[in-house]
Structure 1
C-alpha cells in the first residue's frame, strides 16, 4: 500500500477548545509538528493551518482545519484537491468515544461512528477510503452526556493516558508514513507488558 502524504488532525480552533477531549486530533498533529520542527501557518484557501515536514524520509503535509469539527471536510477536501493527494494517502487523527483513554488504533475505511469531522469529510468525498488514527477518550456512559463530555476537559489521569496514546501513535507513525500499515497496526494494537 502507498505511504502517507497528508496527515490531518481534527479538532476545534480556539484556545477555549485546546485541551478538550474533542481536540485529541489537534494534540496529535501538534505533537508531530513539534517532533519534526514544523510550524503551522494559516492557509485561507485550504480553510486551515498547514505545514510541510520531512518525516520518516518523506515529505509530509500536516493540516489542522480551522472550520470547526462539524465542517472539517471542507478543509480536508480542499487540501486533497490542491495538493493532488488521493484520500488513500491521507490519515485523519481524531478523538474516539469507543476506545478508553490510553488506547490508539489505526484503521482504514469504514463508517464515521458518529464522529462529526469524519462524517463531514465522508459526505464531501462520497466515501470513507482514508486512514484514521482513533485516539481513545472514553465514553461518559450515556448518549445524552456525550456532547458535554467531548467538549469538556479530561481528568488529569485520563489526560495523561491520552498523552501516552499520542506518544504510542507517534512511535509507529514512521511505519505508516512509509506504507507499512500492517506493521504499524500490529505494533500499536499489541498491549504493552
Structure 2
C-alpha cells in the first residue's frame, strides 16, 4: 500500500502532467515536477521517461472513465438515466484529464486496447438506446456515438463554467431531442 504523501504526490504529478501535456506535448518532466511542487528527481524515480508518465496519465484517465461507466450502470439503468449519470460523471473526468485519447493510440498500444474496451461499452449502450427507441433507427450508431463524444467534449471544454448536472441536462436533451423544433 502506498503512503498517503506518496499517493498525493503521484496524484499531483498525474493531474499536472495531464494538464501541461495537453497544453504542450513537449513539456518536460522537470516542468511538470516544478508545477506539481515536487523535486524532479522524485518524479524521475517514479517515471524515468515522459512516455512512462504519459502512459500513467492515460491509464488514470481510462480508470476514471471506466469508474464513471460502472457508476452510470450503462447496461442496467434506464437509458435516459444511465446517459445522464454518464455525462454528469464524464464531464469532470474530461476536464481533469484533458489529454486527447487519440494520442493514446499512438503512444501506448496496451492502453489503446483498454480504450477500445471502454469505447465498446459506450457503443453497446448506444445500441441499447437505439433498440429501445430512444435514438432514431435511421441514424447509424457510429454517428450517435460521434455526437455524444462531441457534445461531452463541447460541454467539458467549450463551456468550463457549466456544472456537470447542467452539462448532462444539455447533452442528454441535445442527443435525444436535437436542437430543432422538429
| Fold equivalence (TM over 0.5) | no
More helix per residue: 2
TM-score (norm 1): 0.29
Q: Which has the higher contact order (CA 8 A, sep 6+)?
A: 1
More strand per residue: 1
TM-score (norm 2): 0.30
